[in-house]
Structure 1
């Protein structure tokens, strides 16, 4: 008999993707959704699919996910973003592993799908999303939060699919939000750089994504993704510079 597991998801206006996410975790013993004020029917979809929905105003990603973990009934936590879903192989693998867990946390190989293609540079990157909350939780970071576990960790093989951007408009909406949060973090850490550094980061990031990480194998979509990734790196430093100069 496997260990009971609570799936936790944070949401905000995710009506067009949340059903796919929740469908992939229907086998879990509990689904907890922490919503920060959706107005597009997300909450209704979650409740229809058997999730326990809790409202909490959004503060930052780390705090929101830490709160979600505290609301879970069971010790084992499977954390997904609304735009992620488990492959059938990974669903079966997790259930088998939880019969007799060998570790306190597990890394899941996540692959990004962008404009209909699996992006080479983001292919099967391990991310710790299955863990025993008695041994770990999310760190309190504004963005790019992650799980820290005290104890042993293992790696699973089935894919966690990540279709983060519905279209380019959605990409730039998230782009603006995330680069601002990243810029604020750069300012808080005292790592503000002059504008020329942003230009340097643009060039370096493009070369890393397109050549070194293999995005050239994605053809024209790889070019677009590499440019987007490079632009992201540049803009977060430009925003940090702008924030710091306004404070002076």
Structure 2
């Protein structure tokens, strides 16, 4: 694959702790499209310091619309869709250069090495994603608190992993979780055909109890020291918050208004 036919696309909102490291690994790209949601930190200044960055700003409404707006700004056949905390190693680009995609192939899926402040973990719940795809054959759709790429065609694999290394403050992560959880709870309530993980979540009890066991012992994160504990506690907190939101809605719906009046 001609590397000049690939344009990286990144969404940003207050990513000053991540964006420099991400863009520094994309110097091979002729053009990088950055769609910023009016950051009020140094994100824009850092991004515009890279000569190959073409930055535009758009008021944020939802991730799906933001990603699709970014796709509309890209002129090449292929898109490399990246979160602002993804790290692209040189081995990944070398593998992409050697790809010979057939006409019916619409994209490539990659796996991730999850890092906590630069420390790689031996396991993660972070799923593989299609990040390299033909622009005319893909579009984003909303999926709970996040977005899902809908691809028209076959998908293959890239062997080299990307790194996920988010170094934003924990307070920002907590704020995001509170916002995401409401959307995820709504999706879970409306879903009928769900996988094993969501079936556990629907019990409102088992997922928060099993999460630390799964992370520490099944994924082996207990061997990763405090970084492993950090990730485990984050994922357990997220499951606890989701269970609490679902239980709160259930109890409110089941409450008897006459009892409140009697009190």
Q: Same fold (TM over 0.5)?
A: yes
Match of 2:242? 236
Deviation at 1:187, TM superposition (A): 4.5
Structure 1 runs not aligned, ≥5 long:
none
Corresponding residue of 2:257: none
Structure 2 counterpart of 1:218: 224
Q: Do the aligned partners of residues 243 and 66 (structure 1) sit closer, same or farther apart at CA in structure 2, a change above 3 Å counting?
A: farther
Q: Distance in 2 between matches of 1:143 and 1:85?
A: 23
Q: CA deviation at 1:120?
A: 2.5
Instruction: Tell me the residue number matched to 1:200.
Output: 206
Is the Cα contact below 8 Å between 2:87 and 2:162 reproduced in 1? Answer: yes
Which range moves more in the overlay, 181-190 or 1-10?
A: 181-190
Aligned equivalent of 2:119: 117
Q: 1:142 to 1:25 in 2, by over 3 A?
A: farther
1:116–1:47 Cα change, 3 Å: closer
Number of matched residues? Answer: 245
| Partner-residue secondary structure (3-state), 2:81 | strand
- Correspondent of 2:185 among 183, 186, 198: 183
Matches within 5 A, 1:55-74: 55-74=57-76
| Cα distance, 1:77 vs structure 2 | 0.5
Of the two, which has the highest radius of gyration? 2
Residue in 2 that maps onto 1:209: 215
Alignment of 1:64-143 (within 5 A): 64-97=66-99, 100-102=100-102, 103-122=105-124, 125-143=127-145
Distance, in Å, in 2 between the alignment partners of 1:173 and 1:43 is 22
Give the TM-score of the pair, scaled to structure 1: 0.85
User: Is the CA contact 2:208–2:243 (under 8 Å) kept in the aligned structure 1?
Assistant: no
Tell me how large the CA RMSD over aligned residues is.
Answer: 2.9
Distance 1:107 1:146 in 2: 13
Query: Deviation at 1:87?
Result: 0.8
Deviation at 1:239, TM superposition (A): 1.7
Runs of 4+ in 1 over 4 A off after TM superposition: 187-191, 243-248
Alignment match, 1:23 = 24
Query: CA 1:218–1:106 in 2, change beyond 3 Å: closer, same or farther?
Result: same
Residue 39 in structure 1 maps to residue 45 in structure 2:
no
**Inter-partner Cα distance in structure 1 for 2:33 and 2:175:** 26
